[in-house]
Every structure is written in C-alpha cells, then in structure tokens.
Amino acid sequence: MESYWLCQDCLQAVAYDDFSALSLYYSEAEVDQRIAQMRVALQALLPLSADFDPETGIGIEDFSTQPCEACCSCFHGTRHRFTRL
C-alpha cells in the first residue's frame, strides 16, 4: 500500500469536503481555481484511508517543508499520512 503525506487543506477536503480555509490566503478567483485543482489531485489518489493517530502523533509531521503529495502545495506546515487502499 502506498502512503501519502497531505497538508491541512487536503485533510479537510478529504475528511469533510471542506475548502473554506483556502479563502484565508487566496483571492476569490484563486480559491475556485485551487478547489478545482485539489479535487482532481485528490480524486487521483482515492480511495484513501487516514493513517494517523492524533492522540499519539503517529503519522503526523507537526512541521514539514515538503510539498503536499496531493495538491503539491509548498506551504510549510503540518502533514498527515494517508494510505491508498
């Protein structure tokens, strides 16, 4: 099984189909474009299963400089491990 490290935005998109945080750092036009890009990238990885434990921190990188393996965002931050089924 393949594992992928996803950013917070992709985590919210996969878990809740929620893209609302994008409006914090993108313009309205950029948000729509970014959502479309993220949907295509995430769809290519499906089916995914969360492979992290928030209680122990296993499968969570608190701060990563690596790009998100789904949307390719270069924003530094938390990454969560997901496994393709």
Q: Report residue 60 as tokens.
A: 């969570």
Give residue-wise pLDDT tens across range 7-63.
999 999 999 999 999 999 899 999 999 999 999 999 999 999 999 999 999 999 999
Q: How many domains does the chain have?
A: 1
Q: Report residue 13 as tokens.
A: 């998109």
Work out the pLDDT band at 1, boundaries 50, 70, 90.
confident
What pLDDT shows up at residue 25?
Answer: 87
Dist. CA 73–CA 6, nearest whole Å? 9
Dist. CA 85–CA 83, nearest whole Å? 6
- In which domain, by residue range, is 30 found? 3-84
- Asked if 73 contacts 67 with a C-beta cutoff of 8 angstroms, the reply is yes
